[in-house]
Amino acid sequence: MNNLKQVVLLFLFCVAFNTVVLSQESKTKHIVEIKNMKFIPSELTVHKGDTVVWINRDIFPHDVTELKNKAWSSSVLQPEKSWSKIISESEDYYCSLHIVMKGKVIVN
């Protein structure tokens, strides 16, 4: 009887563990490069919960700031610095240092 309990518990543990591991594995990391005054790619489609990493490949600073309300911002990113954000909804963003630089993350 005790043995059966242990087997059942072990089984439940494995199911729970797999669920956690698999749901973590399904999250993807996406890279957006900032290069020649552009976000590349400027439009990126992700799944809810994915991480987007912005990397500044220019020789001068940029930032990544939410477009409509400035709800969030990377603050100034010096060359070769990166910043990441977990994306839960579609976002329009821009560089507040160079307002012509715009990008979009779309949650599919």
Residues at the contact surface with Cu ion, assessed by CB under 5 A: 62, 95, 97-98, 101
Closest CB 65 distance from Cu ion, rounded Å: 10
The residue (of 44 and 77) whose beta carbon lies closer to Cu ion is: 77
Closest CB 56 distance from Cu ion, rounded Å: 8
User: CA-to-CA distance for 32 and 25, rounded, in angstroms?
Assistant: 20
Closest CB 84 distance from Cu ion, rounded Å: 18
> Which of 21, 23, 42 minimizes the C-alpha distance to 32?
42
The residue (of 50 and 91) whose beta carbon lies closer to Cu ion is: 91
> Which of 52, 59, 36 minimizes the C-alpha distance to 93?
52
Residue whose tokens read 């963003």: 93
The residue (of 18 and 79) whose beta carbon lies closer to Cu ion is: 79
